[in-house]
Structure 1
Amino acid sequence: MPLTTSFTLSKQYLEECFDESLPFSKHAKPRYVFIVSLLLSGLCLLIFTNQHTVAGSILLGLGVLETISFIYRRTWWLTRQMWSRSANSEVTIMLDEQGFSSKNPYTETTLLWQDIKKHIDTKRGIILLAHNGGQSYISKSVLTDEMITLIKERCY
């Protein structure tokens, strides 16, 4: 018997999704080595050579851009999500014997139980980690207790 629930993909839901998923993401920490190497390379080109001022300026600019993109990664991610067609649409989640599926007027996604490597239980939701490296966040506020129990049983 499939278990079904629905919710609106609102800005608050997306904020929770980002905040709860970030600690388990590969983008949780800035790429310090990359940023420092861009900045140092740019500075060295500007200080020690006279011919490569354009290249040095570009490398400095890229280092600054990388720093800014890390600082504002949440805002930029939320903006992109809110620009998408799926924003503020009704999402239906269904759990059955096959796996987990979500559907809104624009997309339909299915994640089979055997494709899920493990689950991570966070304070406000559950992150499903797939074998292919993808991850899906589901807020506990939209799931019933029966759905949470089924996810935990199926995803070890």
Structure 2
Amino acid sequence: MNYTTSFTLDRAHYKECFEQSNALQPKSNSRFIKPVVMVLFGLFFYATKIDGISAHLGAFFFILAFVEVLNTIYARGWWVTRQMLSKAAGNDVTISLNETGLDINSDFVKQSIQWTEITSATPTEKGLVLKVNNASHYLSKSCFSEDAWQFINSKVST
């Protein structure tokens, strides 16, 4: 089968990528360990009272901890905003399927993924998360025809 599709890297696509990929991650309170450690560093530097540096360094760690908490709480908005500020945002991506694999082309990325390189494929509600060399690639079901989607599933399940 040879199939080619295109889509635009817009806010809706980035939101779907984040939500579907993040749904696979286990939720734990360990994500708040980093800000707690930063607050402890801030308290340490305030308590040591080294002239000229302690107050500034302590405040720096408090602010860093605050930013890290915001990053944790607003992870989706933070990630989507960073993607929208990237040079790839708003560009068209073309994905071609064939018997050997996927070809992904845009103004900034030219990548080929062989079906044999895919170590795992995890279905989500709206697509598929592929693992290739410890990297994740999300394919949205909405970008492919039903036949192409069945072809992808047959290739990644073997």
TM-score, normalization by structure 2? 0.83
Give the unaligned 5+ runs of structure 2.
Answer: none
Give 1:4's aligned residue.
4
Task: Provide closer, same or farther for how the CA distance between residues 27 and 106 of structure 1 changes in structure 2, counting only shifts above 3 A.
Answer: farther
Give 1:133's aligned residue.
134
Cα contact 2:121–2:129 (8 A) shared by 1: yes
Residue 49 (structure 1) aligned with residue 38 (structure 2): no
Task: Give the aligned residue type for 1:81.
Answer: Q
Post-superposition, which runs of at least 4 consecutive aligned residues in structure 1 deviate over 4 A? 25-30
Secondary structure at 1:31 match in 2: helix
Give 2:73's aligned residue.
71
Task: Provide closer, same or farther for how the CA distance between residues 83 and 58 of structure 1 changes in structure 2, counting only shifts above 3 A.
Answer: closer
Deviation readout 1:7-60 (Å, 9 max, x if unpaired): 2222211111111111335898663222111112312432x3322333322222
Give 1:61's aligned residue.
63
Aligned-residue Cα RMSD (Å) equals 2.3
Task: Give the aligned residue type for 2:136.
Answer: Q
Give the unaligned 5+ runs of structure 1.
Answer: none
Residue 88 (structure 1) aligned with residue 90 (structure 2): yes
Task: Provide closer, same or farther for how the CA distance between residues 56 and 87 of structure 1 changes in structure 2, counting only shifts above 3 A.
Answer: closer
- The count of aligned residue pairs is 154
Deviation readout 1:120-140 (Å, 9 max, x if unpaired): 11101111111x211111111
Secondary structure at 2:96 match in 1: strand
TM-score, normalization by structure 1? 0.84
Task: Provide closer, same or farther for how the CA distance between residues 28 and 112 of structure 1 changes in structure 2, counting only shifts above 3 A.
Answer: farther
Secondary structure at 2:6 match in 1: strand
Deviation readout 1:52-100 (Å, 9 max, x if unpaired): 3333222222211211222333223222322333322332211111111
Task: Give the aligned residue type for 2:97.
Answer: L
2:131 and 2:42 map into 1 onto residues whose CA distance is: 39
Residue 14 (structure 1) aligned with residue 14 (structure 2): yes
Cα contact 1:30–1:70 (8 A) shared by 2: no
What is the percent sequence identity of the aligned residues? 31
